[in-house]
Amino acid sequence: MEAFAQTVVSGLLLGAVLALIAVGLTLIFGVVDIVNFAHGEFVMVGMYVAFFSWSLAGIDPLLAVPLSALAVGLLGALAYATFVRKAMRGTLLSQIFVTFGLLIFLRGAAQALFTSNFRGIQGTVLTDLGGSIGGVAVPGPQLAAAVVSLLGTGAIGLFVWKTRAGKALMATSQDREAAAMLGIDPHRMFALAWFVGGLATGVAAALVAAYQPVHPNAGIAYGLMAFVIVALGGFGSIGGALIAALLVGLIQNIAGFYLAAEYKELWVFLLFLTVILIRPQGLLGRR
């Protein structure tokens, strides 16, 4: 029973963080209609921002959240303004390869600039916080990451559904031409989507850097999972991404513990394939 409770808690903690990362991806996809293959590398960049804030200026990763968010947000906006915007005028293939190129570039640049060494943030406010409730460990860094990520996901939801800018964003995602006719500049909206998507990703990245090694390949696993979650939840759906992420976290932990841990991702992909068969648009996606 204790073991089961532990898998559920660990699963939800992991899922919450994955949710915010996936929301960043789904927002970009939903509005701009481009798949950001470099999304995992955005996470990696955010992790480095948090690491260097800590190692050079002694800033706790919790306080580095805004820095990392801003950095990744600007990276997203910059990527849009320079390459993506141009590529959108090209063929489908060039749209696919522009973000793929960005992936290779970011990973290579990180290795060239920061070397392939593993970095880790130690002795933060959160390190020895947390404890166990009835034998179930609730680690401080992960709890903080999960709580902030859920707040972040909520904030993105509020922004999209309640603010003028958010509604304009959604209008562009639903019908680019109609929105443009009503005076909404699609390019500004696209840039905004990349910025907000990056912002969300940067928040999550700074938080995971508090308890995971930071290196040029640190984003790969996050990028892959974010894609599965976005497809599972429905492309462009924030609520879908949240539900799917929590599901993925739970399945990874429960199946990983009771079945073979080595194949924990297999169960996630199995669920993904099943959902795609039954509901190709994803859990909450529109057709």
Partner 1 sequence: MRRLSCCIFVLIVAVTSACAPGAGEGDGGTDGNTVRIGTIFPLTGASASTGQRTLEGVKLAAEIVNEDVDMDLPLASGEGLPNLEGARIEIVSADHEEDPETGASETERLITSENVSAVIGAYFSSVTLTASERAERLGVPFVNGSSSSPELTEGRDLQFFWRTGPSDRTFAESFFDFLDDLNAEKDAGVQSIAILHENTAYGTDAAEVTEEVANERGYEIVSTVPHGNGVNDVTPEASSIKSKNPDAVFQASYTPEAILFTQTFRQLDYVPNILAYGAGYSDSAYFEAVGDAGNYTISRAAWALDAVKDRPAAVEVAEMFEARYGHPMDENSARDFTAALTLFQAIDEAGSTEAEAIQEAMNNTDVPAEQTIMPWDGISFDETGQNELARGVILQYIDGEYKLIWPFEAATADVVWPLPEFSKR
Q: Does 99 bind partner 1 (CB under 8 A)?
A: no
Q: Are 22 and 264 in contact (CB under 8 A)?
A: no
Q: Does 115 bind partner 1 (CB under 8 A)?
A: yes
Query: How far from each other are the two terminal CA atoms of the chain, in whole angstroms?
Result: 41
What residues does 131 pair with on adjacent strands? Answer: 138
For strand 130-133 and strand 136-139, is the pairing parallel, antiparallel, or unpaired?
A: antiparallel
CA 220 to CA 232: how far, in whole Å? 19
Shortest spacing between CB 52 and partner 1, in angstroms = 14
Q: Does 222 bind partner 1 (CB under 8 A)?
A: yes
Shortest spacing between CB 259 and partner 1, in angstroms = 9
Q: Does 142 bind partner 1 (CB under 8 A)?
A: yes
Q: Does 215 bind partner 1 (CB under 8 A)?
A: yes
CA 207 to CA 69: how far, in whole Å? 10
| Interface residue with partner 1, options 85, 167, 264, 279 (CB under 8 A) | 264
What are the CA-CA distances from residue 57 to residues 35, 53, 141, 209 (Å)?
A: 35, 5, 20, 16
| Interface residue with partner 1, options 36, 53, 212, 237 (CB under 8 A) | 212
Q: Does 139 bind partner 1 (CB under 8 A)?
A: yes
* Smaller CB separation from partner 1, 121 or 191: 121
Q: CA torsion angle for 29, 272, 141, 257 (degrees, to 10)?
A: -170
| Interface residue with partner 1, options 133, 158, 260, 273 (CB under 8 A) | 260
Q: Can you state the angle between helices 140-162 and 164-174, rounded to 10 degrees? A: 80
Q: Does 158 bind partner 1 (CB under 8 A)?
A: no
Q: Does 5 bind partner 1 (CB under 8 A)?
A: no
Residues that bind partner 1 (CB under 8 A): 3, 6-7, 10, 14, 111, 115-120, 122-123, 128, 130-132, 137, 139, 141-142, 208, 211-213, 215-218, 220-222, 225, 252-257, 260-262, 264-265
